[in-house]
């Protein structure tokens, strides 16, 4: 399919944002930016806050397609629930389909798929309520990361370097699990080195891994504050050069495909001090705030924010998720 040149081809577009997940505020910020960019390019785009409001609007035949910029789960749009709804209704949307979203939201199952295909990801333990977290940490070897199995935006994550910090880390992660969930936590080997991320854009013309970004926070690591609030976090793009840059982009594409993703996403990777890469997770609806990383990488290859939003919206017109 050729690239779209006429904004009328998209029809009326719902920019789905907000919702009820723990990432609501980030989603609202992302959504406002996407809405402004699409309208600047002549797209008939409108803000819709959350899935129930979208369902009401779709029943009234108000929209032709959805630009999904909801983040997270439990009322976010990254866990496959929204995608199944839209596919059942025959409404095209941006981003990955049911499988890619549901699998990528579950960090444990994503790691299991990657490991089955020989893709590198840190050693881990799956923890259920009541499991002996101290025994798990010693089996993996401290230091470790403790996080909810199904959250994003660094919500509920702790770095633990000794036994004393384990119970507090588990309690923090457990705060972000609803009573209806299985209660799984992910404990993961802490990889010390460079934190990198690679955006993948499945544009109409060709799929590409964008230049990597190496993230250098002023604090100890890239937490929620460093992602969305701090102004002193450094973003080096491309984060690598030569053969390592080629290798991380290929790895990101392999991880993206293995998780069943389509449209666009962002793949987070660690590079240890020996130069080895370790896959962390895939974000199927990456942030589009002033601090967000996919827009930064896109600019490096000459794709401004408005064009990026247009190209993401184009992916709802072909193959992919609809």
266 is an active site residue: yes
Report which of residues 152 and 240 the model is more confident about: 240
Q: Is the pTM of this model over 0.75?
A: yes
Cα distance between residue 17 and residue 236, in whole Å: 29
Active-site entry in 24, 65, 249, 266: 266
Determine whether 178 is an active site residue.
no
- Whether 281 sits among the annotated catalytic residues: the reply is yes
Domain ranges of the chain: 7-94, 112-118+192-317, 123-189
Answer yes or no: is pLDDT of 320 > 50.
no
Tell me, yes or no, if 68 is annotated catalytic.
no
Known active-site residue 268: yes
Highest mean pLDDT among 68-72, 77-81, 156-160, 242-246: 242-246
Q: Which residue among the candidates 104, 153, 262, 292 is catalytic per the annotation? A: 153
33 is catalytic: no
Q: Which fold has domain 7-94?
A: Rossmann fold (3.40.50)
Catalytic pick from 93, 176, 222, 228? 228
- Inter-residue contact 191 to 122 (CB < 8 Å): yes
| pLDDT tens per residue, range 70-123 | 998 777 788 999 999 999 999 999 999 999 999 999 999 999 999 999 999 999
What pLDDT was estimated at residue 23? 84
Whether 139 shows a pLDDT value over 90: the answer reads yes
- Which member of 23, 78, 184, 194 is catalytic? 23
What is the C-alpha to C-alpha distance for residues 172 and 202, in angstroms, rounded to an integer? Answer: 36
Looking at domain 123-189, its CATH class is: alpha beta
Question: One of 50, 156, 287, 320 is an active-site residue; which one?
Answer: 287
* Residue 214: strand pairing partners: 196, 236
Pick the closest to residue 69 from 103, 93, 53, 88 (CA basis).
93
Question: Residue 251's pLDDT is what?
Answer: 98
Of the listed 106, 281, 292, 314, which one is catalytic?
281
Return the CATH fold of 112-118+192-317.
D-amino Acid Aminotransferase; Chain A, domain 1 (3.30.470)
CB 119 within 8 A of CB 255: yes
Residue 15 has φ and ψ, to the nearest 5°, of -95, 105
Phi (first) and psi of residue 174, to 5 degrees: -65, -25
Q: Phi and psi dihedrals of 47, rounded to 5?
A: -75, 135
């Amino acid at each position: 399919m050729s690239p779209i040149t006429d904004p009328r081809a998209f029809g009326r577009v719902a920019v789905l944002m907000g919702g009820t997940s723990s990432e609501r505020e980030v989603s609202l910020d992302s959504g406002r930016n996407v809405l402004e960019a699409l309208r600047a390019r002549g797209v008939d785009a409108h803000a819709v806050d959350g899935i129930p409001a979208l369902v009401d609007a779709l029943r009234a035949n108000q929209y032709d397609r959805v630009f999904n910029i909801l983040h997270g789960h439990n009322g976010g749009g990254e866990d496959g629930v929204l995608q199944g709804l839209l596919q059942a209704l025959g409404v095209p949307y941006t981003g990955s389909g049911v499988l890619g979203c549901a699998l990528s939201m579950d960090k444990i199952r994503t790691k299991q798929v990657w490991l089955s295909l020989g893709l590198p990801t840190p050693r881990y333990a799956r923890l259920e309520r009541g499991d002996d977290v101290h025994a798990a940490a010693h089996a993996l070897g401290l230091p470790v990361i403790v996080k909810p199995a199904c959250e994003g935006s660094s919500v509920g994550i702790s770095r633990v370097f000794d036994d004393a910090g384990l119970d507090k880390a588990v309690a923090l992660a457990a705060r972000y699990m609803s009573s209806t969930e299985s209660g799984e936590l992910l404990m993961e080997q802490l990889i010390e080195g460079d934190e990198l991320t690679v955006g993948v854009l499945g544009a109409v013309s060709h799929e590409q891994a964008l230049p990597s970004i190496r993230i250098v926070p002023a604090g100890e690591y890239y937490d929620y504050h460093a992602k969305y609030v701090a102004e002193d976090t450094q973003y080096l793009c491309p984060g690598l050069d030569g053969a390592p840059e080629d290798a991380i982009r290929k790895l990101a594409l392999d991880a993206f495909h293995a998780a069943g993703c389509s449209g666009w996403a962002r793949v987070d990777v660690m590079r240890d001090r020996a130069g080895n890469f370790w896959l962390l997770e895939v974000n199927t609806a990456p942030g589009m705030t002033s601090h967000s990383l996919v827009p930064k990488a896109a600019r490096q290859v000459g794709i401004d924010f408005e064009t990026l939003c247009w190209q993401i919206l184009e992916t709802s017109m072909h193959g992919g998720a609809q």
